[in-house]
Copies of this chain bind each other. A is one copy, B any other.
Amino acid sequence: MWRLYHFTLCPFSRKVRFALAVKGVTHELVQERPWEKRPEFTAMNPAGQTPVMRRSDLGGTDLILCDSVAITEHFEEALERTPLLGATPEARAETRRLVAWFDQKFYAEVNAPLLAERMYKRAVLKGAPDGGMIRQAGRMADMHLDYIDFLLERRAWISGGQFGLADIAAAAHLSVADYLAGLEWDGHEPAKTWYSAIKSRPTFRPLLAERLEGLPPPPHYDKLDF
């Protein structure tokens, strides 16, 4: 049995959870608050970050997977069903480019500041967020929604002709920014239409149902019509 150590508002955990659901990998969930640096968690992943996956039914040593890219690449190699990277070298390169775009660029410009100000400072430290940081994250989020519109005016899915890991990565990161009231969807019809289709998927809905105690999302967060 696989066990996934995740945090509800960690976009990398969400990417892995959505991918596992699409690929049909059953797993137990363990909620981890990485900033608490639980020794048993740091022993599994010295980087101290979610997500981590552990498989304990192998008889010998447990298999431990750290880092969301290592996890998704592992299941892409291990399970032929529902390939998420694409069929051709071109498609795979484009999917991986866009996964890196959301994991690195969207995360650094939008989710890292929103998580620091709205989640960590407010919900954990009970302090006041920095309004300037939040406004700057909102401006960057708008540029990212413009780029998603640009892509979706040229292709059916963010990954290309077919739904794939770039859609999963985008949905994971956008859903965290949306939970933290960092997205203004008006004026982004292609992105809205795409995200509404993602939200209606049974493999994505469990993520939208979760709440972090003391930090409710905005009312539109889990609605298909937003």
- Considering only residues 86-102 of chain A, those with a C-beta below 8 Å from chain B are 89-90, 92-93, 96-97, 100-101
Interface segment, A73-81, A169-177, A200-208? A73-81
Known: A47-B101, A64-B93, A73-B92. 6 other contacts (CB 8 A): A63-B89, A63-B93, A65-B93, A67-B97, A70-B93, A77-B89
Q: Is A105 an interface residue (CB 8 A)?
A: yes
A77 contacts across to B, CB distance below 8 A: 89, 92
Q: Is A69 an interface residue (CB 8 A)?
A: yes
A73 contacts across to B, CB distance below 8 A: 73, 92, 96
Report how many residues on chain A are interfacial, defined by Cβ distance under 8 Å: 26
Q: What are the interface flags for A191-205 relative to B under an 8 Å C-beta threshold, 1 for contact and 0 otherwise?
A: 000000000000000
Chain A at the B interface: mostly helix, strand, loop or mixed?
helix
Pairwise interchain contact B70-A90, C-beta atoms closer than 8 A: no
Shortest Cβ-Cβ A-B pairs, 9 listed: A70-B96, A67-B100, A66-B97, A65-B93, A67-B97, A70-B97, A70-B93, A74-B93, A47-B105
A45 contacts across to B, CB distance below 8 A: 97
Q: Is A214 an interface residue (CB 8 A)?
A: no
Query: Can you list 28 A-B pairs, Cβ within 8 angstroms, ordered by A?
Result: A45-B97, A46-B147, A47-B100, A47-B101, A47-B104, A47-B105, A61-B90, A63-B89, A63-B93, A64-B93, A65-B97, A66-B93, A66-B97, A66-B100, A67-B96, A67-B97, A67-B100, A69-B100, A70-B92, A70-B96, A70-B97, A73-B73, A73-B92, A73-B96, A74-B92, A74-B93, A77-B89, A77-B92
Pairwise interchain contact A63-B90, C-beta atoms closer than 8 A: yes
A100 contacts across to B, CB distance below 8 A: 47, 66-67, 69-70
